[in-house]
Amino acid sequence: MITCLLLKSILTLPRAMMLYPAAPEAASRLLRFINASPTPFHAVYNATIRLENAGFQKVIATFESA
């Protein structure tokens, strides 16, 4: 039974890889991001850098009291 399940998963792997060819690269990028972000501060900082590199711009919010 276990051998059959293992064989089935091995045989379906190439099909899944064909459906999502960028999946291994996306997983690698996610792992690099997680490893570079040990704290929430690092995660926000790294996300900010990635967004700015992708062309996004910071918006400085101001609060005006009445």
And the tokens for 35? 């490893």
What's the pLDDT at 45? Answer: 95
Residues 6+ apart with CB under 8 A from 55: none
And the tokens for 34? 């997680």
What's the pLDDT at 17? Answer: 52
Q: Which one-letter amino acid corresponds to residue 22?
A: A
pLDDT mean values, one per 10 residues, the chain (66 residues): 50 55 83 92 94 93 80
